[in-house]
Amino acid sequence: MSDKKYDVVVYGATGFTGQLVVEYLAKNYPTTNELRWAMAGRSQEKLEQIKQQYSVDDSIELVIADSENLDSLKQMVQSSRVILTTVGPYQLYGNELVELCANIGTDYVDLCGEPAWMHKMIAANQAAAKASGARIVFSCGFDSIPFDLGVYFLQQQAQEKFGHVFSRVKGRVRGMKGTFSGGTAASLKATMAAAHSDPEIMKVLLNPFSLAEGTQGPAQPHGNKPIFESEFNSWSAPFIMAAINTRNIHRSNFLLSHQYGDDFVYDEMMFTGPGEKGESMANAVAADKSLSSDKGPKPGEGPSKEEREAGFFDVIFHGSQDGDNLTVSVKGTMDPGYGTTSKMIAESAVSLVKDDLDVKGGMWTSAPAMGQKLIDRLVARAGMSFNVE
């Protein structure tokens, strides 16, 4: 057992998503006998309120930490094997935390959907993380676990069935009910503000291989206009999360030593159905800018428990090459941006603690870091499914 006091510290435990992580851990890992976890945030009073609200066991301790107090962050990082952080936008509140984890050797998981910031963090902290053994895993929520692991699952199945992976994969959201988080909206706004003030950031955002550490590949579909796809008999519209998911998946291919191939092509879109109705809906989705507007959700806001439990997502991944075709699906039984996201990041942290992962220090994505072992956890505990269609 590690000499660290905690296995996992939930940083941001009083925020909307942080509370859902606390609720999930309290239900599934209720005492420190199963997982030595703790709740962290700025306010002792708020932490105590959340602890009482979710009937958290007395053995779960509270840690006071604030992004503006470097000493408190350092003490938190030194005390735990894994830091699970929901405190975003990460480009505003995550720099010092990632640096501390990379230097001290503490594993880290977040919900980041900010590719320009991730690009910056990889460049700044990769060497330190490798030296210390810290496994820094970005994007452990709806962006990008279902997509990253979905492509990974498809390619494993293809290798087993056909003896080769697919050089062309299409990710398509077949169905989804739920709301994007206020944190996602805030991250998008912060990213666009940074890009407008710095042309170099815009270059990173426009490069599909921006997280692949200098490696390049073939031209990638833009996915920014509605199209009719005859193989699916459906119109497809741009998918808001594609900008981060596609980059994470190309990073996974890079980290997997190009297991998907040097010529790998991948895009994501959202089905809107056939005919005129499908076309009309695809155009409406393409024109929707509400997430980046002032009308979008605010940080700390989110759907009710009933709304979260009524949500779902259903994503397919279709590969084709040399006459071989295969489709797999990844599904979740709760609101993707909150209900299932809180389970995904929690189990990602637990996987780093409990699973025998053959992965060393560095800046990772979920597929090369945790792969099939995380898939197994999400199926067993998080209400997710991975199936061949």
pLDDT number for residue 213: 93
Looking at the structure, do residues 313 and 362 belong to the same domain, yes or no?
Answer: no
Distance CA 282, CA 275 (A): 11
pLDDT number for residue 337: 84
**CA distances from residue 13 to 18, 32, 121, 241, 369 in whole angstroms, order as listed:** 4, 17, 23, 25, 25
Name the strand (E) or helix (H) holding 251: helix 242-255
pLDDT digits (tens, 9 = 90+) for 270-309: 999 999 999 999 999 999 877 666 666 666 677 788 888 8
- Sort strands 227-229 and 234-238 into parallel, antiparallel or unpaired: antiparallel
Provide the residue range defining the domain that includes 316. 145-335
Looking at the structure, do residues 367 and 307 belong to the same domain, yes or no?
Answer: no
What average pLDDT does the structure give for the chain?
93
pLDDT at 197 over 80: no
Looking at the structure, do residues 353 and 235 belong to the same domain, yes or no?
Answer: no
Looking at the structure, do residues 133 and 177 belong to the same domain, yes or no?
Answer: no
Q: Is residue 33 part of a domain?
A: yes
Looking at the structure, do residues 149 and 286 belong to the same domain, yes or no?
Answer: yes
Looking at the structure, do residues 217 and 296 belong to the same domain, yes or no?
Answer: yes
Q: Is residue 121 part of a domain?
A: yes
Looking at the structure, do residues 151 and 295 belong to the same domain, yes or no?
Answer: yes
pLDDT digits (tens, 9 = 90+) for 319-350: 999 899 999 999 999 888 888 999 999 999 99
* 8 A C-beta contact, residue 169 and residue 317: yes
Cβ-count burial of 229 within 10 angstroms (0-12 exposed, 13-18 middle, 19+ buried)? middle
* 8 A C-beta contact, residue 285 and residue 141: no
Looking at the structure, do residues 174 and 233 belong to the same domain, yes or no?
Answer: yes
SS3 30: coil
pLDDT number for residue 203: 86
Residues with Cβ within 8 Å of residue 52, at least 6 apart in sequence: none
* Residue 128's CATH number: 3.40.50.720
Domain total in the chain: 2
Looking at the structure, do residues 79 and 175 belong to the same domain, yes or no?
Answer: no
Looking at the structure, do residues 132 and 169 belong to the same domain, yes or no?
Answer: no
* 8 A C-beta contact, residue 7 and residue 81: yes
Predicted TM-score (pTM) of the model is: 0.95
**How far from the centroid of its chain's Cα atoms is residue 296's Cα?**
20
Looking at the structure, do residues 201 and 344 belong to the same domain, yes or no?
Answer: no
Q: Is residue 378 part of a domain?
A: no
Task: Look up residue 149 and give its two tokens.
Answer: 């692991």
Looking at the structure, do residues 221 and 257 belong to the same domain, yes or no?
Answer: yes
Q: Is residue 10 part of a domain?
A: yes
Whether omega for the bond prior to residue 115 falls within 30 degrees of 0, making it cis, is no
Give the residue from 151, 331, 121 showing the smallest Cα distance to 242. Answer: 151
pLDDT number for residue 200: 81
